[in-house]
Chains A and B, each alone.
Chain A
Amino acid sequence: MGIKDRLKTGIQKNLNQKYIKRLLGIIAKKPILYTYGSTFSSVSDKYLNIFTIESLRKAYSDNYRPVGYGSLFLPYEMIHALGITPFLPEVMAGFTAGLGLAAQTIKQASLNWYSQDLCTFHRSASGAQELEVFPKPDFILTTNLACDAAQKSFYIYSKKYDIEKNFYLIDVPYRYSQESLFYLTAQIKNIYMDISSKSGRKPDISKLSEAIELSNEFREWAIKVNRLRETLTDYPPYFNALNYILPFHGLAGTREAVTLYKYMYIELKKYLAKQLNKNHDKKNLPKKILWLHLKPYYRSEVFDILNKENCIVAFEEINYVYWPRLDPSKPFESLAIKMLSHFLGGKIDNRVNMILKLAGEYNIDGVILFAHWGCRQSNGGARIIKDSLNKLGIPTLVLDGDCVDRNNSSQGQVKTRMQGFLEILNSKT
């Protein structure tokens, strides 16, 4: 048994906060995060791991208080400007899958009466919460943008820690209008002021403006990376942009997110130069896939099949830069604009239009929507997405599966569906 397996077995037998803390210490030194899907195979990947570990280390330390639990889609620029150390339970649920802990956290959630119908990101996070392996929060922030489960499960966390008064839900209106912009801006500002006051800190708008400047800088690099990716016909080994959740969420408004994407740009540019020097067999170029929603975070053969069938994930919707450049002089309004611009908010047409745009920009041959169990916001639109793409002659696979719980789907069936779909793509001339 190798060190990684021994460690995993050890953790599984001793799932408690002390052990998790020890594990995090080990992760910080050793590149074992590849279980999560990412590796230390590139500079940007190395930074992703370091920044992830660093943010976890802070959240588990007593020296970086207050700690704020946050769901995806929040304006993290504000959270960083407030001096709150963010901790993202949904991202941690991805870690539980990668580290082989999800079976235990999900079992714990079941013992505590969390419904099996609840998405496993939230079930696993809730189980971990019940096992008390997460750091104690001082604030809890969430939003009703896209995800419906976070607002409920995060509220349960606030009750568990008796901090309901420090629970904040950002209510993002369905429609984007002047009225909704005004409503959302006021909410964000009130939350900012309230948390400042509760933390005993004087509001410092200049810090918020700085975070927004960094957010803009990140946006520029992300757009450059995305433009570059339009021209790439394959990727460095182990490159998987589906791992890059944090820069768009928990790291938004930080120097780290900028650094990460800057290095990613440099790396991909170098790779493109190498690619251009090679004599590619144009008839045998890989088929380009657009990946919708997330991926399995446990070890899965899904991506091996892609390689085997000569297909690449050319782009992922999670990496789409959907918001305009933000105005640092109007920080609250800017953050409201960013939230209202999200393609998962409002009508399904917003998402469909974005997908069709990406399909054109990246010369997509086929689309895979990974239909994660319990994720209503994404799966609810599957039919209209598939129909819209089929009208353009782009084959679409709605791949039922689970991002966190490997026991919730038959790996053989996932594999057959995936391989069958790629065979169809490859049979098209």
Chain B
Amino acid sequence: MYTCGIDVGSVSTEAVILDEKNNKILSYAISLTGSSSKNAARSAYEDTLGKAGLNAGDIKAIVATGYGRINIPFADKNITEISCHARGAVSVFPELKTVIDIGGQDSKVIKLENGNPIDFLMNDKCAAGTGRFLEVMARAMEIDLEQFAPIFIKTSGKVDITSTCTVFAESEIVSLIGQGTDKNEIIKGLIYSIAGRITSMVERIGLEEPVCMTGGVAKNLGVVKALEEKLGVKISIPDEPQITGALGAAYLAQGLL
């Protein structure tokens, strides 16, 4: 029997099909959410069905998660990204105690005990400390976001970015560039700024190892390295961190069978 998890985030939508027999991922799909979360979910679902060579009738249960989870009419249940990211991360690293998830519009830290979430913290209502923050800054600097990690690794100096607000930070960067500040040092400062916000969330909830990072931003090794440095721990990353929420949703869908 197969289950499907669909994670409708603010930036991207992921779908995962899981084989209940051996807990193997049969297929997954990642697409941009765009303006309609319903369409994005349908498109990711059909895409992943196609990749797995299955029909909708083969899927016995669907769980939707993410900020757009409410608007998915073909899902059997919606479960928050807190439970889904925790479940997905534990399926990859069973001994986990802390999950750091940085997505497009929110970031969260989940504390686990025996594989179950027992507490969590989410960023407040602004975009600081999220993937969106990095995207806006990359655009302001006219540098591809994928270049951030190699720049972070090769650059030794950094500039402190003092603004928390994404809009103000963008202005701060524009003026720093205007003053002739090295762009690489600005990028390093930006990454430390995001890592600083996440570190304070982790410290608030209480750091316990092992630690894993999920969500699209986990693909940015610069952020991962900055976090490891600030927290003083090794952070594990799943092979495809962006699908962790959808994977967890697919696991939780097994509970509906």
Contacts and interface: CB of A to CB of B under 8 A. Distances in A.
Interface of A: 390, 395, 400, 409-410, 412-413, 416-417, 419-421, 423-424, 427-428
B83 A427 contact: yes
Contacts of B122: 413, 416-417
Interface stretch (B53-61, B74-82, B155-163, B221-229): B74-82
Dominant SS among interface residues on chain B: mixed
B118 interface: yes
Contact of A424 (B67, B106, B117): B117
Contacts of B21: none
Contact of B67 (A409, A412, A417): A412
B135 interface: no
B154 interface: no
B10 to A, nearest CB: 10
Contact of B116 (A410, A420, A427): A427
Given A423-B80, A423-B82, A424-B117, 7 more contacts: A409-B125, A413-B122, A420-B81, A420-B120, A421-B120, A423-B79, A423-B83
Contacts of B117: 420, 423-424, 427
Interface string B107-143: 0000000001111101011000000000000000000
A417 B117 CA distance: 13
14 contacts: A390-B119, A400-B124, A410-B125, A413-B122, A416-B81, A416-B122, A420-B83, A420-B120, A423-B80, A423-B83, A424-B82, A424-B116, A424-B120, A428-B116
A225 B247 CA distance: 47
A420 B118 CA distance: 10
A155 B62 CA distance: 58
A413 B125 contact: yes
A421 B120 CA distance: 8
Interface residues of B, number: 15
B167 to A, nearest CB: 17
List 5 tightest A-B contacts by C-beta distance, closest first.
Answer: A420-B82, A420-B80, A423-B83, A419-B80, A410-B125
A419 B67 CA distance: 12
Given A413-B106, A416-B82, A424 B118 contact: yes
A410 B80 CA distance: 16
Nearest to B204: A383
B208 to A, nearest CB: 14
Nearest to B65: A416
A416 B122 CA distance: 10
A372 to B, nearest CB: 15
A400 B120 CA distance: 13
Contacts of A412: 67
A424 B83 CA distance: 8
Contact of B119 (A395, A409, A410, A413): A395
Nearest to B87: A427
A395 B120 CA distance: 10
B130 to A, nearest CB: 12
Contact of B80 (A390, A409, A416, A428): A416
A306 B9 CA distance: 24
Interface in B26-41: none
A400, A409, A421, A423, most chain B CB atoms within 10 A: A423
Interface string B224-244: 000000000000000000000
B203 to A, nearest CB: 13
B79 A395 contact: no
Contacts of A400: 124
Contacts of A413: 106, 122, 125
B67 A416 contact: yes
Contacts of A416: 67, 80-82, 122
A400 B123 CA distance: 11
B82 A395 contact: no
A120 B15 CA distance: 41
Contacts of B119: 390, 395, 424
Contacts of B83: 420, 423-424, 427
Contacts of A417: 122
A419 B106 CA distance: 16
A421 B117 CA distance: 9
Contacts of A390: 119
A412 to B, nearest CB: 6
Contacts of B118: 395, 424
A63 B39 CA distance: 61
A413 B117 CA distance: 18
A22 B125 CA distance: 38
Nearest to B85: A420
A290 B81 CA distance: 24
Nearest to A423: B83
